[in-house]
Chains A and B, each alone.
Chain A
Amino acid sequence: MTGKELIFAAMRHEKTPAVPWVPFAGVHAGALKGYNGIEVLKDADKLYESLMEVHKLYQPHGMPITFDLQIEAEILGCDLLWQEYAPPSVKSHPYSEGQKLPCPCAIPNENAGRLPVVLEAMRRVKASVGETTALYGLICGPFTLASHLRGSNIFLDMIKDPEYVKRLVEFCAQVCIKISGMYIDAGMDVIAAVDPLVSQVSPAHIEEMLHDGFKAIFDYIRSKKVFSSFFVCGNATNQIEVMCRTNPDSISVDENVNMPKAKQITDKYNITIGGNIPLTTTMLLGTQQDNMKTVIDLLDSLDHHNLIISPGCDMPYDTPIENTVAAAQAVLNTDACRKIIENYEAPKSDIKIELPDYKSNKKVLIELFTLDSDVCAACTYMLRNVQDVYEEIKDIAEYVEYKYINRENIARTGAMGISNLPTMCLDGEIKWVSIIPDRETFISEIKKYAAKK
């Protein structure tokens, strides 16, 4: 079963042989190739290149193309504050001073704003990996889009003038439907309406003013024979039930939501739930072990039917690659990761490790410390990187892989002072942690070490 088939089965609410994994690498995708957030959100080539890296390193069953809730707002006249290491933010709201409704003629076409960049990346990613990987097109949900247009006054409008809110949300839902259609035509398998602000309003207000807009979007997506998802951020515990009533195929929640409790509700409606690896404390600031443990604890706390594991929301730009690799491994190879965590937590080994005598070795020694290159994509990639250039460097260097699966290698990893995997060392010095150098950099570095011999 391919990753795409696995996601489709989960979206159809069938029993799946494994839990699907969908890493939300938005601007973080750029970090994998050294591009900043502005570059990946404005340049289709860089976005495509970055997404291919996400696919290679994180082995997703499904993946979003962009995670940028400002695309629609920018088209409709909001000014954006651009940042290098985060998605842009909306900084001006065209209707903040008065209750206006946009002209229906403002509903965008394929050439509007940054849509050409997104659509091109979608088509190219579809052609490259779309056969086996489910691709997610993310749209800004109609309520958050309405708030982009009206500003925070929309919260007062909900009490003072609900009819206005309904009409504004209805317009925004039409924008969502139009853009969903474009994304579906570009090959997206799942359309996710991402609406973080839904968690900030009462279930009664959602039913009264937002329900119809969301339902129209999900009904449209279903009519086009693709799947839908409703993403929310913040503590949406109170809103899960009314979100279910808008009838999406799946819902995705962040770390503020208690997944087991939320799943009881989504199960009642036979809706798949996704989430909710904590973004900051675990993915950004945690260790590789923290990420494995969090995912395993999550898996152990939930029934695996109607379940997708993903980060709570868009991953921070600087999320360490090794942390996402660890999260991926914990979903894809859960039992192996249980063993790894046991190894991490086990008392220090009494095995005595003799480190190589790097100085007297005539060749540069490349040591690859991996989780296990047979199952971990980032590890495989690092190993292959060495193998691919080996013919060129074999006279001056040799390599060895230590998989973190036996006691001796675990002890050796500890003796080298390595805390994240995969890591590559040259003559006993840690050179690359998770990052796989390009061919030229790698060879040049090997030659530098060889020259010191």
Chain B
Amino acid sequence: MDKQTIYKSAADSILTANEELAVKVFSDAKSAGFDLLDLLGSGYGAGIQELGELFGKGRVFLPEVMMAAETMRKASELIEAELPPGTAAKKATIVIGTVAGDVHDIGKGIICALLKSNGYMVHDIGREVPAQVFIDKAEEVNADYIGSSALLTTTMPEQKKIEELLTKQGLRSKYKTLVGGAPVTKRWAQKIGADAYCENASELLAQLNEWQEVR
């Protein structure tokens, strides 16, 4: 089987959340001696990216995306198990979480799956995370980006607190910050001094990729 067909099948396996196909593609690629890391990013990854775009356009919905993320997780596990430790070069590192007082995290889960499949090192610090913990984790893992999600108007101020603490601790220029969540707007991001507002997972990925290009 040629490379193009294998890569297309990998993308299709994600788009259709077909785990059986994803495993078969992996076996075929391995037997054929393909670069498995490239298959992860440009094969399976292309599928999850397309799905993210379709989700952003309202063409597919949460159940399909969550199923695809599960298939993607399986493909990633298979490939990472084949790689010597430290082989997987990461584009950049992001710390991501839902802010204190907020227990909503479905959207964040989708973002994490999309970013991981696109080669980012993702540290998901969960939900109800105080502002300082975002910063502590970013310092600990030497992150490049900090992403926070707020699903309630009452928890949005915690995103502002992240900005304030970064400034107060002299770390503001070290990280780029991204904010999102249902009530969050571009205007809010500008008001608190965040670097970007992202409406959905695919916007966030596009923003990170754009920043990566100029790094």
Interface residues of A (CB under 8 A from B): 81, 83, 85-86, 89-91, 152, 155-156, 158-160, 200-202, 205, 233-235, 237-238, 279-281, 284-285, 316-318
Contacts and interface: CB of A to CB of B under 8 A. Distances in A.
A83 B153 CA distance: 12
Contact of A83 (B64, B154, B184, B187): B154
Contact of A159 (B17, B103, B152, B153): B17
A285 B61 contact: no
Contacts of A317: 153-154
Which of B62, B66, B101 has its CB near the most chain A CB atoms (within 10 A)? B62
Contacts of A81: 101, 103, 128
A182 to B, nearest CB: 28
A89 B62 CA distance: 20
B185 interface: yes
Contacts of A234: 182
Nearest first, the 6 closest Cβ-Cβ pairs linking A and B are A316-B153, A86-B154, A200-B62, A155-B63, A158-B63, A280-B183
B61 A205 contact: yes
B109 A152 contact: yes
A86 B152 CA distance: 8
B154 A280 contact: no
Given A90-B103, A280-B183, A280-B188, A159 B64 contact: yes
A285 B187 contact: yes
A298 B60 CA distance: 29
A22 B104 CA distance: 28
Nearest to A237: B58
A18 to B, nearest CB: 30
A86 B104 CA distance: 14
B154 A200 contact: no
Interface residues of B, number: 28
A100 B150 CA distance: 30
B187 A281 contact: yes
A18 B128 CA distance: 45
A202 B66 CA distance: 13
Given A90-B103, A202-B61, A279-B183, A284 B66 contact: no
B166 interface: no
A86 B183 CA distance: 13
Contact of A279 (B104, B105, B153): B153
A7 B183 CA distance: 29
Contacts of B104: 89
A159 B58 contact: no
Contact of A156 (B58, B63, B154, B188): B63
A235 B62 CA distance: 13
B103 A205 contact: no
B12 interface: no
B163 interface: no
A89 B182 CA distance: 15
Contacts of B183: 279-280, 284, 316
14 contacts: A83-B152, A89-B102, A89-B104, A158-B63, A159-B67, A200-B61, A200-B62, A202-B60, A205-B61, A279-B183, A280-B153, A285-B187, A285-B188, A316-B183
A35 to B, nearest CB: 15
B214 interface: no
B50 interface: no
B108 to A, nearest CB: 11
B106 interface: yes
Nearest to B58: A238
B124 interface: no
Contact of A280 (B61, B70, B185): B185
Contacts of B185: 280-281
B152 to A, nearest CB: 5
A284 B103 CA distance: 22
Contacts of B106: 152, 155, 200
B57 to A, nearest CB: 10
A158 B63 CA distance: 7
A199 B58 CA distance: 10
Contacts of B187: 281, 285
A200 B182 CA distance: 13
Contact of B62 (A155, A238, A280): A155
Nearest to B186: A281
